Amino acid sequence: MDKVEILKKADSYIREEQNAFFRNQVQELIDKNDLEELSERFYKELDFGTGGLRGEIGGGYNRMNSFTVSKATQGLAAYMVKNVKEEERIAVISYDSRNFSDTFSEEAALVLAGNGIKTYLFTGLRPTPVLSFAVRELGATAGIMVTASHNPAKYNGYKVFWSDGAQVTPPHDSGIIKEVRAVGDGIKKISREEAVRKGLLIMIDSEVDVPYEKMVVSQTLRPELVKERGKDLKIVYTPLHGAGNIPVNNALKKMGISVFTVPEQAEPDGDFPTVAFPNPEISEAMALALKYGKEEHADLIMGTDPDSDRLGIAVPDKGDFRLVTGNQLGALLADYIFRTRKELGTLPSNGAFINTIVTSDLQIKIAEAYGLKTFKVLTGFKYIGLKIREFEEKDNYEYIFGGEESYGFLVGTAARDKDAVSAATMTAEMALWNVTQGRSVLDHLNEIYSKYGYYEEALISNYFEGQQGAAIMDGLMAQLRSDSPESFGGLKVREIIDYKDGSTKYTEEGRKEQNIDLPSSNVLQFILEDGSLITVRPSGTEPKIKFYASCCEKPGMELDKAKAGTAAKIKAIEVQVNEMVRKAAE
């Protein structure tokens, strides 16, 4: 893009942006003649994808700001006006602790009100699962959650939910995208005072908080155990400066469980001053919680991300604490929930378990052992929500539990997105149950490995920012399709699954079949000769490409030997993948 085009777009943005902070940001760049930064902000528009928006906060068409939020909301409003009966045009909006989240949520509310859509707006920050629950509780057609999940502080985002409480899926996602792209200068917005006066903006809090908390606590499978022994379990918890503090603490304390909240990370703060990445998946983010866990002699350490839809944990291990991966926690929760419900006689014959194509197959083995029907869906929790809706519409399966490797789990169906609050209470109950059985959570995990085989996973992520980064990732995916590796880590590739065209290539036989019945997605999977699995996908929410490696050993192998074998496989795969990425970036 040449200088004239850049400045033309920048001038146009300044005229359209009503927020002085973002408008002045761009004007300062123009005054400094910073064409490189202006190019990054205007070389494209921030794309409204199938789940909404996510990007760096700042002025410009390729940034999260008041204008991009109002434009996205106008598109959503136009879609609702065209496709939803007038009396059913109701929306709910919530937001987390990120910078400008409250500004963006009010901007969205006033645009919806300007289009005659009745909108409920929370008086303060709430987790994503509370927004999902609120959509269903209030009978709304749509929901908006202003969050960038676990991304660094410079990001914010905007997720759209539909009437079932799940993030939008076909046909609504593509329909909304079409309307967003068609928005010109016709953004309709009214003042807060007018919206309130007309009954189009209604502030909410306890009318959703109370039933949500009641729902979370009601998920308890062994209420008598929790009532009698809950006080014996000590938890250290961190909300990582996010929205989880109040709901997680309230639910656990109502169950009689003692909680110590990390004081430095208890208050909401969009700058996330104590962590680079507010993500409970990574050890650095959990460092303070681990420190207090040792000091407080905790039985369990838990952390939630800023919008409290992801849960990470650590458990005691020989005088220290060990972080548990998302795949491992998913296996522990699945085994505990299915085992308990079977013992109690509440596990239905048509029970279903759902996880994603990049999540450990160990969980599938556990579900099948308890007689559950298992389903794999594309990455993204909205596909789990979609599957639950299909079960209800067809009345053929009853959802019991589901999750994804990135620390997202859903207990029950009152919410339709991953719910770290419910996952936290169920994890606490699982840990307490293990204590009463005279064993640790790690003993429970090792029992699972002995029964089903040892599994180990690794995520290899490489960031590629900006225009050049997008081109590198596109080139790498194209190369993997046109010149696929014959092996990974010394193990031959047996099958190549391409979710973009729905095909499976059988390398030894040299044949290809169209046999994948899932929506098209830019994902490749390589199944290796020993059953190990490599999955490659560009992230839909961050500027990075992800390689998921899952390796396993068969049941019965001595645990230390199985761990050594899988670790060696993963190490060899990581070396090859990193070299592959390095060459692609040259």
The per-residue DSSP string of 166-226 comes to SBP-TTHHHHHHHHHHH--S------HHHHHHTT-EEEESHHHHHHHHHHHHHT-S-HHHH
**480: three-class secondary structure by DSSP:** helix
Quick one: 392 and 312 in the same domain?
yes
149 is catalytic: yes
Quick one: 447 and 468 in the same domain?
no
Find, among 381, 405, 354, the residue nearest to 550 by Cα: 405
463 versus 390: which is more confidently predicted? 390
* Summary mean pLDDT of the chain: 95
- Whether residue 413 contacts residue 399, with contact meaning beta carbons closer than 8 Å, is answered with yes
Point out the domain boundary residue: 182, 204, 226.
204
List strands edge to edge, sheet with 90-95: 52-56, 155-162, 142-146, 90-95, 118-122, 201-204
Quick one: 493 and 546 in the same domain?
yes
Tokens of 505: 């290539």
* pLDDT at residue 551 greater than cutoff 90: yes
* DSSP letter, residue 560: H
Neighbours of 436 (CB within 10 A): 13
1 versus 188: which is more confidently predicted? 188
Q: How far apart, in whole angstroms, are the C-alpha atoms of residue 524 and residue 536?
A: 5
Across 564-581, average pLDDT = 93
Tokens of 132: 């999902």
Q: How far apart, in whole angstroms, are the C-alpha atoms of residue 17 and residue 367?
A: 51
Across 182-210, average pLDDT = 96
| Helices assigned H by DSSP within 345-397 | 361-369, 381-394
Which of the residues 94, 101, 149, 550 is marked catalytic?
149
* pLDDT at residue 370 greater than cutoff 90: yes
Quick one: 448 and 458 in the same domain?
no
Quick one: 232 and 187 in the same domain?
no
**Roughly what angle, to the nearest 10 degrees, separates helices 441-452 and 420-436?**
90
CATH code of 8's domain: 3.40.120.10
Q: Report phi then psi at 85, rounded to 5.
A: -60, 145
pTM reported for the whole predicted model = 0.93
Quick one: 184 and 36 in the same domain?
yes
Across 361-365, average pLDDT = 95
**What percent of the chain is modeled with pLDDT above 70?**
99
pLDDT of residue 269: 98
Point out the domain boundary residue: 419, 452, 485.
452
Report the domain count for the chain: 3
Domain with 463 in it? 454-585
| Distance linking the first and last C-alpha atoms of the chain | 23
CATH code of 543's domain: 3.30.310.50
Quick one: 468 and 376 in the same domain?
no
* pLDDT at residue 299 greater than cutoff 80: yes
Q: How confident is the model at residue 384 (pLDDT cuts 50, 70, 90)?
A: very high
Q: Nearest 10 degrees: CA dihedral of 467, 483, 532, 339?
A: 50
CA dist 391 → 172, 249, 373, 394, 396 (Å)? 19, 33, 12, 5, 6
Q: Report phi then psi at 146, rounded to 5.
A: -90, 110
Quick one: 464 and 515 in the same domain?
yes
* pLDDT at residue 362 greater than cutoff 70: yes
Point out the domain boundary residue: 204, 230, 257.
204
Instruction: Quote the strand ranges of 68-204, DSSP E.
Output: 90-95, 118-122, 142-146, 155-162, 201-204
**17: three-class secondary structure by DSSP:** coil
Quick one: 258 and 364 in the same domain?
yes
Q: Report phi then psi at 152, rounded to 5.
A: -60, 170
Quick one: 162 and 199 in the same domain?
yes
Quick one: 446 and 478 in the same domain?
no
Quick one: 335 and 355 in the same domain?
yes
